[in-house]
């Protein structure tokens, strides 16, 4: 399994390679989700289930996003610009519908942080919207999967655990057709979400 051949690659214990304890990151976000007034609680048409609870551009995840630029550029084979981070807490029964990502997410990563339950819920990939030859990847807390967000169809089956916490890290090719989406068209990392409306098309690339 390599990024060049398959369009995705799992990096086991990626957080550990950065010197970050996944348990500390879990505790950090539990505090944030419990007490922060900045979290997003809204309906996302890529999620089937309850309104999502998430953080766009959490400051610590934006630091991690920036630290990922060099190693991910080496894996992908081109220079990358960071786009944005998005940390989401799924509840039991939530389902991430099959889709491809918008232009700000040309190269994406999903970082598994924590879950409450007995089994790991997978992220799934396919080259086609009918899920033909689908691959399911089971990421332990601290593991990360890097993938081509605009090219690969991806989804999560309904969450079987009480909850699942993960973060998306998004990038664009610094010399590619989406380079204008550097920082997700913000002035820099750490800024709030830009006041734009983006509708995710679950049938076509958005």
CATH of the domain at 86: 2.60.120.620
196 in any annotated domain:
no
As for how many domains the chain has, the answer is 1
Answer yes or no: is 205 within a domain. no
Expressed as residue numbers, the domain containing 142 is 3-181
What confidence score (pLDDT) does residue 36 get?
72
Radius of gyration of the chain (CA): 16
Contact 170, 149 (CB under 8 A): yes
The percentage of residues in the chain with a pLDDT greater than 70, rounded to a whole number, is 86
Residue 8, pLDDT > 70, answer yes
In a domain, 52, yes or no: yes
pTM over 0.75: yes
CB 156 within 8 Å of CB 90? yes
In a domain, 198, yes or no: no
| Per-residue model confidence (pLDDT) at position 201 | 42
Alpha helix locations (H) across 36-177? 59-76
Q: Does 133 fall in a domain?
A: yes
Range scoring the smallest mean pLDDT among 3-12, 35-44, 68-77, 92-101 = 35-44
Closest CA to 81 of 91, 90, 89, 72: 72
Is 121 a member of any domain? Answer: yes
Residue 143 lies in a domain: yes
**For residue 203, is it within any domain?**
no
């Amino acid at each position: 399994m390599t990024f060049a051949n398959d369009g995705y690659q799992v990096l086991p214990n990626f957080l550990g390679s950065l010197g970050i304890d996944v348990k500390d990151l879990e505790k950090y976000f539990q505090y944030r989700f419990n007490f922060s007034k900045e979290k997003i609680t809204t309906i996302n048409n890529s999620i089937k289930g309850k309104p999502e609870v998430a953080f766009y551009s959490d400051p610590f995840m934006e630091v991690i996003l920036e630290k990922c630029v060099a190693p991910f550029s080496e894996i992908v084979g081109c220079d990358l610009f960071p786009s944005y981070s998005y940390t989401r807490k799924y509840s039991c029964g939530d389902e991430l519908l099959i889709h491809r990502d918008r232009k700000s997410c040309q190269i994406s990563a999903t970082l598994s942080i924590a879950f409450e339950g007995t089994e790991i819920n997978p992220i799934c990939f396919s080259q086609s919207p009918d899920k033909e030859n689908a691959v399911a990847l089971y990421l332990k807390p601290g593991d990360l999967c890097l993938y081509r967000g605009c090219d690969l169809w991806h989804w999560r089956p309904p969450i079987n655990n009480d909850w699942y916490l993960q973060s998306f890290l998004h990038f664009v090719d610094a010399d590619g057709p989406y380079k204008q989406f550097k920082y997700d068209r913000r002035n820099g990392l750490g800024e709030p979400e830009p006041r734009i409306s983006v509708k995710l098309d679950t049938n076509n690339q958005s």
